[in-house]
Structure 1
Amino acid sequence: MNKMMIGSETITKAEARSAGKVAAYWTVTIMLAFSITLSGIGQLMRMGGNVDLVTDIGFPLYITNILGTWKLLGVLAILVPGVPRLKEWAYAGIFFLMTGAALSHVYAHDYGDAGFHVILPLVYAALGIASWALRPNGRKL
């Protein structure tokens, strides 16, 4: 049987799977957008450990302006409707930015407490991959 009851409505299993995929997409995408937005704002305002985070591995402080701006623009590109090609670039940018951050900390031997400086950017990269993979058809090229 390909139909199931949800409350008083009958839907197909394909519709239920599609609805589950959309819910998973938005859950992961909101987590990604929230995390990257907070990170970008923190870098632009040089809040918390953002200054030490970049200068301890040898980057100039102005890199926070560049990274923070690109992060916020990337989040906007992912969240706004339409512009599927720009979304592709934004997802790629987040992946390269986050894996580059993790590798930069590895090469500088700056792992942070329990590897936090490496693990967190890789988690963000994984969220980006998951969001990209779960995109509804209307958000794809």
Structure 2
Amino acid sequence: MKKLNISYWISTAIFSVLILIQGSMYFYSDTIAQNFQELGYPDYFRLQLGVAKLIGGTLLLIPFSGRLKEWVYAGFTINLISASIAHTVTGHPIHKIVMPLAFLTVLGFSYVLGHKSNKI
């Protein structure tokens, strides 16, 4: 049980730190702003998504369980799948298509391990 708990926190911390870094970059990175423009999204969506990622990444690190945490996982799942599809449709390089799926894999580990260790 202890290994399960440690594995849950490691996968959750890795995902959360990466998503918090990415979410904060949504506010100042010209490259990310350009990517959103190439994808056809309005600039305000980038800012909204940045706020959502900061809030969601923080909520995953707070030790509580319940419906809200389930919605955080669902929101990130939808976001990451949608990002991969958007990059695929616009013909972006493979690393931009695969990166959200790699994040999704880490999120999946966190989710499954969280249920097994009764953290979610």
Alignment TM-score, normalising by the size of structure 1: 0.79
Q: Which has the higher helix share?
A: 2
Q: Which residue of 2 aligns with 1:52?
A: 34
Alignment TM-score, normalising by the size of structure 2: 0.91
Unaligned segments of structure 1, at least 5 residues: 1-17
Hey, what's the Cα distance between the residues in 2 that align with 1:68 and 1:81? Answer: 22
Look up the equivalent residue of 2:113 and give its one-letter code: L
Question: What percent identity do the matched residue pairs reach?
Answer: 25
Unaligned segments of structure 2, at least 5 residues: none
Q: Which residue of 2 aligns with 1:20?
A: 3
5 Å matches for 1:1-141? 18-43=1-26, 45-111=27-93, 115-135=94-114, 136-137=117-118, 139-140=119-120
Q: Count residues with an aligned counterpart.
A: 118
Look up the equivalent residue of 1:55 and give its one-letter code: Q
Q: Which has the larger radius of gyration?
A: 1
Hey, what's the Cα distance between the residues in 2 that align with 1:54 and 1:110? Answer: 12
Hey, what's the Cα distance between the residues in 2 that align with 1:83 and 1:53? Answer: 35
Look up the equivalent residue of 1:133 and give its one-letter code: V
Hey, what's the Cα distance between the residues in 2 that align with 1:46 and 1:121? Answer: 20
> Cα distance 1:50–1:78, how it changes in 2: closer, same or farther (>3 A)?
same
Hey, what's the Cα distance between the residues in 1 that align with 2:15 and 2:30? Answer: 20
Structure with the larger RCO, 1 or 2 (CA within 8 Å, 6+ apart) = 2
What do you get for the CA RMSD once the two structures are aligned? 1.2
Deviation at 1:94, TM superposition (A): 0.6
